Amino acid sequence: MENILSVRGLTVDIPLAAGTLHAVRGIDFDVKRGETLCVVGESGSGKSLTSLAIMGLLPKQAQRSAQVLDFEGVDLQTASKRDMRKLRGNRISMIFQEPMTSLNPAYTIGDQLMEALLLHRKVSKPVACDRAIELLEKVGITAAANRMKQYPHQLSGGLRQRVMIAMALMGEPDLIIADEPTTALDVTIQAQILRLLKDLQRELNMAMILITHDLGVVARVADKVAIMYAGEMVESGSTAEVFTAPKHPYTRGLLNCIPVPGKTAAGEHLGSIPGIVPSLIGDVVGCAFRSRCDEATAQCSSDIPARVSSAGHLYRCVHDYDGPASPSMNQPKSGEA
Amino acid sequence: MLVYTLKRLGLALLVTLAVSMLSFALLYLSGDPAAAIAGETANADDIEAVRIYYGFDRPWVVQYGEWMFNAIRGDFGTSYYFKLPVSQLVADRLSVTMLLGLCGISFALLTAVPLGVAAAVRPNSIIDRIALFLSVMGQAMPSFWFGLVLIVLFSIKLRLLPPSGSDNWQNFVMPTIVLGYYAMPAIMRLTRAGMLDVLGADYVRTARAKGAGEFRVMFKHALRNAIIPVVSLAAVQMGFMLGGSIVVESIFALHGAGYLAWESIGRNDLPTVQALILVFSMFYIVFTFLSDLLNAWLDPRMRVG
């Protein structure tokens, strides 16, 4: 199947008084129709900037460059402001992290939903209204016609995020980017929203980029996963590959942090990665993870090429590792011995 | 919305009552009114006669009740100086003041809001600097001085505009600028600050992500939210302009209500002063009430629970 979005060598630089912040440092990925790519990484790893770079919504001072930034044959780097505006909300939609503040408090839910369609299609208001109600019902909101007349402050966080999802779907997009859509929500609501997103993505055969720092989420919904660390994609591949045969020590560290039902004993310490993310101001040479890595050697200070382990499974580490996904998973538990 | 309106209305009525009591009390705060009316040459018997003639010998509750009752019907008594009904006097002068106030606030809003928006869209740009310069100037210049500068420039040097009077529209140009420019800085700065705040809001990013154009983002999504505090400020400024344009009216010899108030205070013409205070306060009360309603319309969080 053909790629909807192709990204090669995407960088985002932010000039600061202390020097240039290399927030995203040359990342590559593709997304196909009907596919879900999960981008995983901790705060400040460049996940959100990556999504804003695709949308063309980076802060003014940020500088974007890429070798390839192609959306269905449209080069997003050379597209005019007008063309980008036509894509946004129409063929590429975005769902944000903060449902509480992402809706305009001055307008009704209905106004804001309809606007998403009226901006791009020559349809009448009643048609847009019907479409909005239909989508509100689709995202599981009851009494949708009444909700249309309500204001954001009258809705709970979970409902607002459902409204945001419905809004993103108004223009029947080919690609939907969800930037930590469940982070601000209650745990019980998180699962509902994720299931909803996944179901809708399948039903409408959209491509989805889901940004998260929760590997549990990835395991449930992703076809492909990309692990970001310090502005770089340190490992990417099919979810099954990356989870069962992780090649990068950072990926293994992350996997080690999740409790596994039935394997992790009560009271057992979960893994953690020592140290902090390095500063990305100024030139970054070599592997950014080496200061936190147990396996670091002198080689890690030189340029790290992308290596291929199997078809579509890429990683940036000079060391070979063929061990288990998570060391703790195979160690005998003290109680079992 | 109805409950909200009624609450605001009740509040406005209470403030009106308080102000009416204060303006009535003014009669006694400035000394014995009978002595003031009778004049400096009057003896004790004359003063007593005046006191009985005007009813100052009765209990103050009765006097207040009578005054208030008449005031509601539009009768504020007779001016000591003009020997004319105060209501007629005030009504004549009020048209000039209201026209000036309306022109002044329009001038202030029409310059301040676009300038504030432009400054917020490009902070620290040349437009922002110019806006800042203009607002500091407006804040720092006393209006009597600015008025005189305009008169020197446009009336004496260039001979374009008449320096005084209130006969035709040309008389209102300079007073409008002086009065409006006085209110402009605060409105401009508040608009700029509000816009800067709102442009960083998540819902503005949502609007952009929907594919809304910059113009739509600015005016539909951002300004609507940023303008809410500006409405309250403009209402107070408007009240101030209608009641406090005394300085501007005096400089340009516009025969408005502010000028009348200034003259009447000098002449000890208490019924006129009382009526004017009540009318000026009413302006504040009415505009505050209207701005509350306008804000509730702009911000659904205030009207829908």
Query: Whole-angstrom Cα distance, residue A65 to residue A162?
Result: 33
Task: Point out which residues pair with A37 in neighbouring strands.
Answer: A209, A224
Q: Is residue A90 within 8 angstroms of chain B, CB to CB?
A: yes
List all residues 6 or more positions away from A227 whose beta carbon is below 8 Å from its beta carbon. Answer: A40, A41, A233, A234, A235, A236, A242, A248, A250, A251, A254
Per-residue pLDDT at A329: 42
**Confidence category of residue A306, pLDDT binned at 50, 70, 90:** confident
Of the listed ranges A84-88, A112-116, B98-102, B158-162, the least confidently predicted one is B158-162
Mark yes or no for CB contact B208/A153 under 8 Å.
Answer: no
Q: Is residue A86 within 8 angstroms of chain B, CB to CB?
A: yes
Per-residue pLDDT at A325: 59
> Could you give the ipTM of this predicted complex?
0.85
Tokens at residue A188, please?
């019980």
Q: Is residue B304 within 8 angstroms of chain A, CB to CB?
A: yes
Per-residue pLDDT at A303: 82
Mark yes or no for CB contact B224/A106 under 8 Å.
Answer: yes
Per-residue pLDDT at B305: 64
pLDDT of A225-272, one tens digit each?
Answer: 999 999 899 999 999 899 888 989 899 888 888 777 777 777 777 778
Mark yes or no for CB contact B209/A55 under 8 Å.
Answer: yes
Answer whether residue A327 shows pLDDT above 70: no
Mean pLDDT on A121-133? 94
Backbone phi, psi, residue A82, to 5° = -65, -45
List all residues 6 or more positions away from B179 whose beta carbon is below 8 Å from its beta carbon. Answer: B100, B101, B103, B104, B107, B143, B241, B245, B248
Mark yes or no for CB contact B203/A89 under 8 Å.
Answer: no
Closest to B203 (Cβ–Cβ): which among A93, A103, A151?
A: A103
- Token look-up 């006191």 returns B51
Query: Whole-angstrom Cα distance, residue A327 to residue A46?
Result: 28
B299 → chain A, closest CA residue: A106
Q: Is residue B206 within 8 angstroms of chain A, CB to CB?
A: yes
Mark yes or no for CB contact A104/B205 under 8 Å.
Answer: no
CA distance A336 to chain B (A): 51
Mutate to test the interface with B, among A83, A92, A104 (most CBs of B within 10 A): A104
Mark yes or no for CB contact B299/A105 under 8 Å.
Answer: yes
Answer whether residue A331 shows pLDDT above 70: no
Mark yes or no for CB contact B211/A90 under 8 Å.
Answer: yes
List all residues 6 or more positions away from A275 whose beta carbon is below 8 Å from its beta carbon. Answer: A291, A292
B-chain residues near A105 (CB < 8 A): 203, 225, 299-301
A-chain residues near B208 (CB < 8 A): 57, 88
Q: Is residue B209 within 8 angstroms of chain A, CB to CB?
A: yes
Mark yes or no for CB contact A119/B211 under 8 Å.
Answer: yes
Cα-based angle B154, B158, B163 (whole degrees, multiple of 5): 40
**Confidence category of residue A277, pLDDT binned at 50, 70, 90:** confident
Q: Count A/B contacts: CB-CB distance under 8 Å.
A: 71
Q: Is residue B122 within 8 angstroms of chain A, CB to CB?
A: no
**Confidence category of residue A2, pLDDT binned at 50, 70, 90:** confident
A-chain residues near B203 (CB < 8 A): 101-105
Answer whether residue B28 shows pLDDT above 70: yes
Per-residue pLDDT at A334: 41
Closest to A119 (Cβ–Cβ): which among B206, B210, B225?
A: B210
Percentage of chain A exceeding pLDDT 90: 49
Per-residue pLDDT at A83: 92
pLDDT of A190-200, one tens digit each?
Answer: 888 888 889 88
Query: Whole-angstrom Cα distance, residue A130 to residue A119?
Result: 16
